[in-house]
Amino acid sequence: MAKTLTYKILEKHLVDGELIPGKPIGIRIDQTLTQDATGTTAFLLFESMGVGRVKTELSVSYVDHNMSQFGPENHNDHLYLQSIARKAGAYHSRPGNGICHQVHLERFSRPGTTLLGSDSHTPTCGGMGMLAIGAGGLDVAVAMGGGAFYLTCPKVIGVRLTGTLRDWVASKDIILKLLSILTTKGNVGCVVEYFGSGVKNLTVPQRATVTNMGAELGVTSSIFPSDKMTRKFLEAQGREKAFQPFEPDPDAKYDRVIEIDLSRLEPLAACPSSPDNIRPVEELHGLEVHQVIVGSCTNSSLNDMMMVAGVLKGRKIHPQVEFAIAPGSRQVLEMLAKNSALANMIVAGARILENSCGPCIGQGCSPADNVVSLRTFNRNFSGRTGTKNDRCYLVSPETAVASAIMGEFTDPRILKDVVGIRYPSVKLPSRFEIDDSMIDEPLPVEEAYDAKVHRGPTIVVPESPTPLSDTLQGKVLLKCDDKITTDHIMPAGAFLKYRSNVPEYSKVVFNCFNEEDKPTFAERAMELKKQDISTIVVAGQSYGQGSSREHAALCPMYLGVRAIIAKSIERIHKANLINFAIVPLEFGNEADYNKINPDDELSIAGLLKAIESAEEIMITDKTASFDFTCSLKLSPRDRKILLAGGLLKYTKKQARG
């Protein structure tokens, strides 16, 4: 039977279940990655499992998120991660070496293998032909310990690419086009697989841009074939031995096929404040711009930066525009410095930011009030920049640099006629600068045993969930709308430094919904917890979209949140809720959402029995005096995890037999 690329990899790695779409399966994980914003918790949980050394072929700990060091918290995390990674048998990429997804693509990715990362943009390495999946840190910790990763066997959406991108139209425009078709919701349980004659015209960095933003579709992963372009990239990285051709069968069947002719694409932009709010750049022409940033794990490759440098050579940034670049890795930065491209950008007026996540997660470069900021990033959720009610647009590097020169939203295709700028020709180098001196290798087993782990006082071991009771008495402390992201639940930016200290970080749960001079969500939840009353959150469609941050489940759990009732819940967040023994419930009748109000008291009787075997459960709204039904969309393993009191307790129980 003809197979898709996705199913070829799944079949090779299947350890539990059957490859039937919609059914739960367990797969073997070859590689893992963590980053410092999620990695500290992941490694603390890994330690509590008592496994000792990682069991994967390769695990890497990166530092790329919490780089600004105001106070000791971030550096404490960095030293802990460096010491525990080497002791546990993982590689460690030190601060300054680059963004995890860019570095992993360059130095570790391998076609035909599986990668699990505690970051939602882990599918970046799908550009290398890997089945790369984002997950919560606890799932990654289990994989590091040799456990399988469990997911819903996916449907596969095929995207047939034909033609060739024209000058000034970028790979970013491919994924923005797809977001305009599929949107950010309704794609849970799917993988996007790219095929067709147009694939061979895209470099690995271009492909990685497309797979990176597949996270915004809400899919499990995105993947390209491994072909001559893949071989070329690996050879340039000095890793030709990692290459293997890997393609779908010619007559592979997809659950849905979307056609995109690359030669007919135009520059696109994601408008505030959602990655699927897509408009042609041509329609936005003339809108005044005050900030432009090129970087993030989406568009920070050498190709992107060289194109920007080529456009800027001999020119100046518009005086009203603050322009910054953030190369994705030290390799990229070093090569830009050696070939004078960096000098061209500095002379043009560019600010040079650290090769880290930085502004993409609200750490620096927040725009002024009520001004337009163009970014080559992957998310523009409201307030993510660090400025409330921001006006953030997601664009390609081509649109970004054109607009930076002109001082207004500019379709880059007009540059030749208006200011005489031709599209710069950029080709992959035959050999990249290779220096892995900032990647620490694991300690040998005999040295690791006595190695000390640096544990700063700001690192606090997370609490385990308390067991669920058969009758859950709770109060609705928050009722929210559709598309609530993990940024809404747990703010990033300046608060990220508290992520190794759950009691401290929990103080800002749902911070964006707090009202001035009134008790915060955290304060009200803790008060209920003291009274042995559970907190319940009610939400609309696509609750928990965005980042994989498990703190969006871990911190609410600490505050006493025991159930989420929503119209729908996104994949990674739902898994994180289950991992920390918070019950994910979905309305049987969405009209019931409108009947529930904040502060309503709810009662859920027979919860444990329902978790054990039922597909739905009755809930009583004692305040409004009505009953409503919710579905329990749980796999048999999900049910066991909830009944055990979370994934960590379940894993320990399994290990004991």
Give the other-Cβ count within 10 Å of 231's Cβ. Answer: 17
CATH fold for the domain made of 268-419: Aconitase; domain 3 (3.30.499)
Q: Is the pLDDT of residue 205 over 90?
A: yes
Residue 611 one-letter amino acid:
I
Q: Do domains 268-419 and 472-656 have the same CATH topology?
A: no
Q: Is the pLDDT of residue 75 over 80?
A: yes
Q: Is the pLDDT of residue 295 over 70?
A: yes
Spatial neighbors of 427 by CB under 8 A, at least 6 apart, are none
Specify the 3-state DSSP secondary structure of 112.
Answer: coil
Q: What digits encode the pLDDT tens for the residues 229-276? A: 999 999 999 999 999 999 999 999 999 999 999 999 999 999 999 999
Residues 493, 363 contacting (CB under 8 angstroms): yes
Widest CA span of the chain, in angstroms? 72
Q: Is the pLDDT of residue 436 over 90?
A: yes
Backbone angles phi, psi at 120, to 5 degrees: -65, -20
Q: Is the pLDDT of residue 182 over 90?
A: yes
Tell me how far apart the alpha carbons of residues 618 and 455 are, in angstroms, rounded to a whole number: 46
152: Cα separation from own chain's centroid: 18
- Segment 613-628 mean pLDDT: 97
Q: What digits encode the pLDDT tens for the residues 304-325? A: 999 999 999 999 999 999 999 9
CATH number for the region 472-656 comes to 3.20.19.10
- HSE (side-chain half, CA atoms, 13 Å) at 74: 19
Tell me how far apart the alpha carbons of residues 303 and 301 are, in angstroms, rounded to a whole number: 5
In order of 320, 536, 636, the CA distances from 288 in angstroms are 9, 43, 54
Backbone angles phi, psi at 367, to 5 degrees: -75, 160
Tell me how far apart the alpha carbons of residues 83 and 65 are, in angstroms, rounded to a whole number: 18
In order of 67, 201, 327, the CA distances from 376 in angstroms are 20, 22, 12
Q: What residues act catalytically? A: 64-65, 119, 379, 547, 549
Specify the 3-state DSSP secondary structure of 341.
Answer: helix
Q: At how many degrees (to 10) do helices 521-530 and 551-559 cross?
A: 50
Residues 60, 33 contacting (CB under 8 angstroms): yes
Instruction: List beta partners, residue 413.
Output: none
- Segment 70-79 mean pLDDT: 94
| pLDDT of the residue at 523 | 97
**% helix, strand, coil for the chain, step of 5:** 35, 20, 40
Q: What digits encode the pLDDT tens for the residues 147-181? A: 999 999 999 999 999 999 999 999 999 999 999 99
621 φ/ψ sector (left φ>0, alpha ψ -120 to 50, else beta): beta
Indicate the class that CATH gives domain 5-264: alpha beta
- HSE (side-chain half, CA atoms, 13 Å) at 315: 18
Tell me how far apart the alpha carbons of residues 22 and 188 are, in angstroms, rounded to a whole number: 10
Tell me how far apart the alpha carbons of residues 116 and 133 are, in angstroms, rounded to a whole number: 5
Spatial neighbors of 354 by CB under 8 A, at least 6 apart, are 67, 96, 326
What percentage of residues in the chain have a pLDDT greater than 70? 100
Q: What digits encode the pLDDT tens for the residues 222-236? A: 999 999 999 999 999
| pLDDT of the residue at 185 | 87
- Segment 128-134 mean pLDDT: 98
Give the residue among 1, 3, 62, 52 at the shortest CA–CA distance from 31: 62
Q: What digits encode the pLDDT tens for the residues 11-36? A: 999 999 999 999 999 999 999 999 99
Mean pLDDT of the chain: 96
Tell me how far apart the alpha carbons of residues 550 and 544 are, in angstroms, rounded to a whole number: 10
| pLDDT of the residue at 502 | 94
Residue 536 one-letter amino acid:
I
| pLDDT of the residue at 317 | 98
| pLDDT of the residue at 233 | 98
Model confidence at 657, pLDDT cuts 50, 70, 90, reads: low
Backbone angles phi, psi at 83, to 5 degrees: -75, -40
Q: Which helix (H) or strand (E) holds 150?
A: strand 149-152
Residues in the chain: 657
Q: What digits encode the pLDDT tens for the residues 90-111? A: 999 999 999 999 999 999 999 9
**DSSP string of 1-17?**
----HHHHHHHHHEEES
| pLDDT of the residue at 275 | 96
N-term to C-term CA, the chain = 38
Residue 641 one-letter amino acid:
I
Domain locations in the chain as residue ranges? 5-264, 268-419, 472-656
| pLDDT of the residue at 591 | 97
